[in-house]
Amino acid sequence: MNNPFVRKLERGAELSAEDVALLERLSADPEPVAGGFDLIGEGDRPENVHLVMAGIACRYTILPDGGRQIMAYLVPGDLCDFHVAILGQMDHAIATLTPCQMVDLPRAVIDDLTDNHPRINRALWWSTLVDEAILRDWLVGMGRRDADAQLAHLFCELYARFETVGLAGPGPFVLPLTQEELGDTLGVSSVHINRVLTRLRREGLVVPGRGKITVPDIARLRAFADFDPSYLHLAKRTGDNGGEGRENAAPSEGDE
């Protein structure tokens, strides 16, 4: 099963066969969007919720001095603005970074999912809380890691997230991001990103290319970055607070 939306949400809750079928139906017909396209602007009150099925998008904001800060990457399986219904309006913008395949889910569909499908509701909130954990990790990176470790850490995180939805496995991992985008993510200049990448390349940890970065050996990069993925809360949980323990269910964590 190759649907990244389903694969992701299955990490957040035990879905029934009907849940899976419903999610597959909702995400069955994605539409292509060009790279660099603004999906939602700051201050908008979007009617639909956007779902990424392929490609990479991002949350970002533009500062008075013109600088851009990317605050999150949105990868296949991610909902862009699930929470806007509660907060009212966007306090940041969302744009595609690469060409994407997107699904537009009407607000009513989301309301149906949260109101009438408790396991899906739980998975959606799990996803929101993981997003928050990722933000905290980025904050730690900006505050306490130098750019080398922070960049390596970011690549490890993205690898883990792509792997979760079946889009990364053993073998080289390619990230279609420019050095300027990476700079706007870490809060450093693209010139400095270039110097960091040069160092990492000399260590054999990454292979920069035009508009892309290749990670030849994720294990070595993880060691370099001292990467601990527990903040992603990917280990599939079974049972829990609400309903009595449902044991085991092999985590299938393996990288095949």
Partner DNA sequence: CGTTTGATTGACACGAGTCAACACCAGTGG
Partner DNA sequence: CCACTGGTGTTGACTCGTGTCAATCAAACG
Distance in angstroms (rounded) separating the CA atoms of residues 140 and 143: 5
Point out which span in 70-78, 121-129, 146-154, 240-248 binds DNA (CB under 7 A): 146-154
The β-bridge partners of 24 are none
Choose, by CB under 7 A, the member of 85, 109, 174, 188 that binds DNA.
188
Point out which span in 43-51, 88-96, 194-202, 225-233 binds DNA (CB under 7 A): 194-202
238 sits near DNA (criterion: CB under 7 A): no
Distance in angstroms (rounded) separating the CA atoms of residues 164 and 75: 11
215 sits near DNA (criterion: CB under 7 A): no
Contacted by 126, from a copy of itself, DNA, none: CB < 5 to 8 Å by type = a copy of itself
Q: Name the site residues for a copy of itself (rule: CB under 8 A).
A: 12, 59, 61, 63-65, 67, 69, 71-72, 83, 85-88, 91-92, 107, 111, 122, 125-126, 128-133, 135-136, 138-140, 142-145, 186-187, 226, 230-231, 233, 235, 237, 240-242, 246, 248
Choose, by CB under 7 A, the member of 34, 140, 191, 249 that binds DNA.
191
Q: How far is the CB of 137 from a copy of itself (least distance, A)?
A: 8
Q: How far is the CB of 104 from DNA (least distance, A)?
A: 26
Point out which span in 11-19, 99-107, 191-199, 223-231 binds DNA (CB under 7 A): 191-199
Kindly tell me the burial class for residue 147, based on how many C-beta atoms sit within 10 Å of its own C-beta (0-12, 13-18, 19 or more): buried
Point out which span in 11-19, 114-122, 173-181, 237-245 binds DNA (CB under 7 A): 173-181
Choose, by CB under 7 A, the member of 170, 211, 216, 239 that binds DNA.
211
How is residue 41 written in tokens? 């602007």
176 sits near DNA (criterion: CB under 7 A): no
Q: CB–CB of 182/211 below 8 Å?
A: no
Nearest to 33 by CA among 104, 89, 124: 104
* Interacting residues toward DNA by CB under 7 A: 146-148, 178-180, 183, 187-192, 194-198, 208, 210-211
